[in-house]
Structure formats: structure tokens, C-alpha cells
A and B are shown apart, each in its own frame.
Chain A
Amino acid sequence: MSEIKMTTEQKQFSAGPPQGSRSAAEPKLAPSGGSAVRAATSVGAKRIGDVILDVKNISLSFGGVNALTDISFDVREHEVRAIIGPNGAGKSSMLNCINGVYTPQKGEISFRGQTFKHMSSRQVAEMGIARTFQNLALFKGMSVVDNIMTGRNLRIKSNIFLQALRIGPAQREEETHREFVEHIVDFLEIQAYRKTPVGQLPYGLQKRVDLGRALAMEPQVLLLDEPMAGMNLEEKQDMSRFILDVNDEFGTTVVLIEHDMSVVMDISDRVVVLDYGKKIGDGTPQEVRENEEVISAYLGTSH
């Protein structure tokens, strides 16, 4: 079941900048990626679908500390879903549960109807869930392109020896993946930094590379852990635009944790509010903004 759905999803993503086929169809000077996507998904305005990710009664504790208590929420296909809450509310823990880093003691998570309790990060990644990190986990000494290439890792099929020698099918495969990476570079507008070691880039650009690496997996769900932390206003605006563009162009479902309230309210479709490991609000930005409990816990206090 999930297999089939995944492939249809992939098509949507790869319709614009797919592997190989593009050069034959529109040889030169094609517009940057989008026209085919446009044709493929001419459905106009935003198409929010069924529940894709369902989190049910999750509880997570570390020794005596209850990080998450009985949390339930769902994420619908193609939507931008935000998780907000004050420091220590359990936002990152929630994300880590979804992506298999932590295994919750209670509750279950289902992805496209498939329920799982224990799953490794790799399995989650193979299912089509990608993430970025709050404290960037990039390879600082490697170039931007190489870093994004690592996101293609799961899709590279040829064995390590062929890859190391770069012969025959391995080389062809690498070229296909490299082309895909180029589309991401173009999409995120980082052409000027292809060959720059990531460690030399300003923080805002590193964040963009991090996003690029997650996109390279062609994910169905993208988990963003504080994508705008530590950024200046302009970088935040850029990042917001990229997140919306990813959602719009590729139909990728986005789950993001964010601190900056104005950003969250502007770009998300629905918001979950956590406080001390408990869910205290869930709904559209407007509803959340008017929720008394949320106001006293979050908006009304230090923020």
C-alpha cells in the first residue's frame, strides 16, 4: 500500500527535475525546472489531502522526566504543520520520536496507514521522511554539492567498490544524482557556493544547505527543527520563502518546529502547541492565537 503511494508521490517531485529524461525532452534553455511540474500538477491552489502521519497518545520519558505526555496530533498531506512551545516543551523530542531517534514508551505513530513503534532512523528515511537539524549536522569540510550529494545516499544502488573506482554503471548513476543535486542547487539559489566548503559559509546559507540535503532525499515529509533559529530578519524571510516553495512546487508535507511566532503564524496551515510535554492547543494559526491556554503559556509570558 504505502509502496504504491510512494511512487506516485515521487513522480510528482521528479516530474520537474527528473533524472536524465529532461535533456532529451527539452534540450537547451529550459526554464528552471518548473514548467513540467506546472503541467503535472495543474490543480491550481493548495491541495491538502488525507492524514499522512498520525501520532497517537505518545508518551516519552527519560528516567523520571516526562518529556512528552500523551500527545496526539495528525499531519495531512501537502500541509505545513508547525509544532510550537516554550523552551523544554518537548518539541525536538516529538520530532525525534517521529524520525526514529527516540522510541516512545507509549503510543504509536502511523505513516500512510502503516503503524510502527520501533523503527530505526534509516527505516524512517527509507519511508520518505527527511529532516534538518537545529544545530546543523553538516560535513563542514566538504563542499556544498558534496554535502547535498550525501542526501542521495539512500538512492545510490551501485556497490561501494564500483563507486570508489567510479566505473561503468556507478559513474552513470553518479551523474544522474549529480544532475538532481544541481536542480536543488538551482532551487535554493546557492549556485555561487557549489564548491565552497560548508564550514566557510555564513550560518543562514548553511541552514539552506541543510535543507538542500534533506530535499535530496526526495522526501514526502520534511521535518524541520527550528529552521530559522539564529537567523536575521532577511535570512528568515528567505527561509520562509524556500519552505513555502518546497511545499508548493513539490507538494512536500512540512512539519516544522519554530520559535519565531510571527513566522509560524504566517507560513503554517495548522499549529500544535506543546507546554511541559503536554499538548495545550491544536488548530489553525488563528484558532491557536485566540486559545486562552496558549496565550497564558506562551504568547502572554516571555514572548
Chain B
Amino acid sequence: MQTTFPRLLLKHAAERPGAAAMREKEFGIWQALTWGELLAMVEQIAAGLHQAGLRRDQHMVVVGSNRPRLYATMLAVQSLGAVPIPLYQDAVAVECVFPINNADVCFAFAEDQEQVDKLLEVREQCPQLAHIFFDDPRGLRNYDEPGLVAIDELMAAGKVHVAQHPNFLKAQVEQAGPDDVAAMFFTSGTTGNAKGVVHTHNSLLDRARAGADFDRLTHAEEVLAYLPPAWIGQNIFSYAQWLACGYVVNCPESAETVMIDLKEVGPTYYFAPPRVFEGLLTSVMIRMEDAGSIKRKMFAACMDLAKRVGPDRMDGKQLGLGDRLLYALGDWMVYGPLRNNLGMSRVRVAYTAGEAIGPDLFQFYRSIGINLKQLYGSTETAVFVCLQPDNAARADTVGLPIAGVEIKVAENGEILVKSPGLLKEYFKNPQATAEVLTADGWYHTSDAGFLDAHGHLKIIDRVKDVGRIKGGANDGAMFAPKYVENKLKFFPFIKEVVAYGDGRAKVCVMINIDMNAVGNWAERRNLAYAGYTDLAQKPEVYQLIKECIEKVNVDLAADELLAGSQISRFLILHKELDADDGELTRTNKVRRGFIADKYLPLVDGLYGGKTEQFIETVVKFEDGRSGSVSATLRIEDSKTFAPVKAAA
């Protein structure tokens, strides 16, 4: 699609000036902003920014939650040929320093006092940041800072300029082409500084269009924008595709009201990471437990039916007459009201991505008639690489390469992507660019995976984490720790897993049980326990976990590539892994290497064939004191299965 963001705005404003472009809930009422009004707003902001000195190819930071004026500012910046850089609104001040200095940013848009404070705090380190415009003036009245101006004032100044130069915006917009830089997104980067991912109008809009075509999106879609605009996913869903399709983006009232707003808006096109879907399901289940016994039985019966026939129904397979009637009844009594309660009555297409989603969770939503699918992509690929078609959504794949995308699996299992949506470069970082983008146009995703028999992409792990089994019966087999860990974590009883196997003869795991789930389970069995450490070492609990592991082993055995990753031995840790003790990252990912060092006796015990092992560990309490926990842990074997040769 050879166009630019501002040109699309002009097109929508010309074609449908009275249609709603955005809605924002304010003072309890959804207020619509039409395309015509949006254009006027963008025009004024652009003129104001132009007068303030923003020029072509300069960068401007926008930081805040999803608000019409934030999006209008991005459009205004792009109209002037400058480049907006959305930053995460929950980033701490020091994290903003690098992007601002890296791109030599002089202009910033901040949503409210919180964001303004943050920008003022870093001003000393970023002296060039001369202009800060804010949206919500609350609490800012007594600020006397040079260059701090309300966006209202900027717009008022812009309005005067527009009155004198009615063709200002059009003239500006025409100067930019589809191959000019449109936006820059900073990726967090696990090590070192963040990298600015540079995208052109074409790379973003081409992918936005391809995704929209794939799901046949129209201007009638309703979207709720509630994730950070700095994240490329939100930016694609509520900015690029918004302009590509011309649908309505709804801005929630506040972060706390998202679930209420979701119900009120009833989006037709929805995106959420797996944890949101999980949270929703939990809240439904808790409320069902409190319901009367008739309702509970009805719910249980309907959910059984949904589990049995729901997935087939979503895949478009023909059901028997009886099942169809029963499902219709269930739909009337349970599924329909449930969808309504979740705010998903009108959802036509829902996506989840970012991390692995549990098969039960995934099938729950599909079985009650919500078209939940997965996609694969990243900041560097403008999101859309692989998408699941409506009738072929699976929990363990991420879909088919869509139009324009070429996929190739490298020697080491890494997935390489070629697509019109690839990043132009990392900003001022040719070395990093060269590492991921080869001269012949392939982008290295650093994800390991393969295309299955049906052409669906399956992601296993990060390339650097994938190892090989060495020695023993499965010598040379592929070992994907995260894949194994995720499979175990899908069981509600298991909270954290650390898997080892790279360079070793077999796979062993250390497990954290989920205190709530297992505690509940123990109570129902009249199993007395005196806390986590005690519960974790109960033989009954070991048996429970062993069953989970063996189920995973059966699954793995069916997988030709990963049959060697079956788990031979396991133990349950005596303490919960904690970020305060350095065992988890702040985003709750296990630090495998660190844990291996810290619990060296346990790892030795696992591989040394012992049946129990004493361990003493230092723990940090929340008030900063530290103490130690010691226990003798049981180590058990689990059954492994002979690999099943794929039937198809």
C-alpha cells in the first residue's frame, strides 16, 4: 500500500468526515471524535509544532496512555515529516534518558503530571529537551518550567496559523513519501541499551493492510486500546490498522476501568496477552463457584459439552444434529451470557501473542464461541508474520505465513523472515542492524522453531537457549528448556519449572508447586501440612507432580523433534523462587544459570542418581533481613516413553 499515515487521515476525513474515528470515555459518557474533528485537531497541533520549531526528520517523544490527543500528536508529527517515538508510560525516568539522547529529541508530548515530572527529572541529562507539551493540566498549574506548555495553548497558536495558511497541512503531508521513516520504537533489550527500531510508513502500513486483509477487517470494527501505545502491538492495532481500515478506536477511562469499558464497548477486534485471558477465566470460575447449585450444574454440563464439540465447531467441522441442538441450547443458556460478561459478545477476531498460551485456556475461549487465535511477530517485523486462519487455530502453533512473508529455518533452527514489514534499521546502530538483517534481506528472529506438516509455524524456544542432549540413549537430540517448562507450567499445580539437559545425558527438572492450587488440593484430601516446604515434600504431592510430568512426557514422545527432551528425574524445591533472591527476573522469568549455580548440590543430586539431597539456602525477607532455609529434598524418577513415529 503506497501511502503514508497522514495521507490516510486526509482520505478518511474527506470520505467520511462525520464518522467516528475515536471514542473516549469522559465523565462517564463515551465521547466520539469524528474523522473531521480529528483532522482539525491534527492540523492545529501540527501548525503549533511547526511554529515551535519541529522540523522534518527530527524526533519527538510521546509518552502517555491511549488518548485521542496522543494519537493526534503522532499524526501531527508525521504530517510534518518528523518521527514520533512512543515511550512506555510506566518506564521510570532514567529509562527515558537513552532514547531521548540517542535520537537527540527536543520535543515531547506528555499525557499528565506524572509524565511531565518524569521528563523534567531527566532534563538535566537531556538539556536539548526544550519543549514539553502536556494534555491533562491537573496539578501542573503552579509549574514554572521553561518550555512547558499545555497542548491547548499549542493548538490555539496552531489555529491562528491554520487560519492564515489554510493549505498548511496538505502541503506538509505531500512532502513525505511512503519510504520515509514513520516511527521509531525502542525495544527493551535484555542486555545493554535499548535499540530504536526504525520503521517506514510503508513497512508499517503494508503489514497493517496484510493483517487486515487476512481477517477481512472493515471500517466497522470496534477496538479497545488499552495496552501501552509504545508497544508495537498496540500501535499496530490502534494506529496503523486504525488508519489503514478506518475503524473506531476506543480509549478506556483509566487503567482500572478497562474491564468495565470492554463490556460497554463490545469490541469486534480484540488483542490481549495470555495473562489477560487467564485473569478473565479465573474471575469467571471464582464467581461460578459462588453460584447456586443449579447454576453450577448447568454451567458444568454446558462446559463439558463445549469442551467436546466446541473446538470442532470453531474449526468449521460438521457436527451431528444432536450436538448442534445441544450446543444451541448451551449457547442460549451459558455461552452467550458468558461471552457477554467477558465483554466479547461481538468479538469477530481475537488474538493473543507474546508468550505461550495453555491449551486448556486457549480451547476454553474457542469452545464458547470466541474466535481466539494466535499470531507471531515482533517489533522488528511490524508484528504480522504468521497468523492463524479462523478454522485452524491451535494452542501450540502460531499460524501460517501471511501474504508477503517468506519464512526459512536456518541450520541452527533459527527462524528467518523476509517481509515488506521488516525494520529499516536500528537507529544509529549499524552493528546491531547487521547482526539481525543480512544483506540478502533476511531478518534473524533469534527464535527457534519449524514449520509443521500443515505449514504452520511452531516456536520452540529462543535459539540461544536451545541445547543438545549429550550421551545416553538420546544423544544429540534437541533440548528446548522453555518448551518443556511451559508445558509443565500449563498445569495449575505447577508454578515455576527449571529444566536442565543441555550437554547432559538426560533432562531433569526442579519444580515449584503452586501453593494455592496444591494447598487446595491437599485440603480436599485432608492432607495436613505446615507451610510450603512441608507441603512440597509430601509423597502425595510428589505423586501428583509425577503424573503431570508423565503426561508431558507422553506429549513429548509424540513429537519427533523433541522426544529426547522427555523428563527423567525431578525434585520439588523447598522454597519458592523469588526475584528478591535473584532467581527470577523482575518480569518473572527463571534465571536458569543462576539457579544452577545456587542449587549446585541439587543439580548434582539429580544427575548423580541420589534419592534425596540436603540443601541449605540463604533467603532475603521483604524487610531486607536474611535467613536460611534448609531441607532434605526427595528426588524421584519419572517414566519416559519411546518416541512415537508421526503417523501422518
Contact = CB atoms under 8 A, between A and B. Distances in A.
B138 A34 contact: yes
B32 A194 contact: no
Interface stretch (B20-28, B414-422, B539-547): B20-28
Nearest to B134: A31
A45 B256 CA distance: 32
A35 B139 CA distance: 11
Interface in A154-205: 179, 182-183, 185-186, 189, 191-192, 194
A185 B26 CA distance: 10
Nearest to B141: A38
Interface in A28-77: 28-35, 37-38, 41, 44-46
A9 interface: no
A74 to B, nearest CB: 25
B137 A34 contact: yes
B276 interface: no
Contacts of A34: 136-138, 141
A235 interface: no
B27 A186 contact: yes
A47 to B, nearest CB: 11
Interface in A233-275: 245, 248-249
Nearest to B24: A29
A133 B254 CA distance: 28
Contact of B31 (A28, A46, A183): A28
Interface residues of B, number: 26
A161 to B, nearest CB: 27
B380 interface: no
A185 B254 CA distance: 12
Nearest to B260: A192
A191 B142 contact: no
Contacts of A179: 27
B43 interface: no
A28 B136 CA distance: 14
A192 B150 contact: no
Contact of B152 (A35, A45, A182): A35
Contacts of A30: 26
A82 to B, nearest CB: 21
A46 B142 CA distance: 8
A16 to B, nearest CB: 10
A249 B138 contact: yes
Given A29-B31, A182-B27, A248 B139 contact: yes
Contact of B142 (A37, A44, A189): A44
A185 B29 CA distance: 12
Given A29-B69, A38-B137, A185-B27, 14 more contacts: A29-B31, A31-B135, A37-B141, A38-B141, A41-B141, A44-B141, A46-B142, A182-B28, A183-B27, A192-B257, A245-B138, A245-B139, A248-B139, A248-B142
28 contacts: A28-B37, A29-B33, A29-B68, A31-B135, A31-B136, A31-B137, A32-B136, A32-B138, A34-B137, A34-B141, A35-B150, A35-B152, A38-B141, A44-B141, A44-B144, A45-B142, A179-B27, A182-B28, A185-B28, A189-B254, A191-B256, A192-B253, A192-B254, A192-B257, A248-B139, A248-B142, A249-B138, A249-B141
Interface of B: 24, 26-29, 31-33, 37, 68-69, 135-139, 141-142, 144, 150, 152, 253-254, 256-257, 260
Interface of A: 28-35, 37-38, 41, 44-46, 179, 182-183, 185-186, 189, 191-192, 194, 245, 248-249
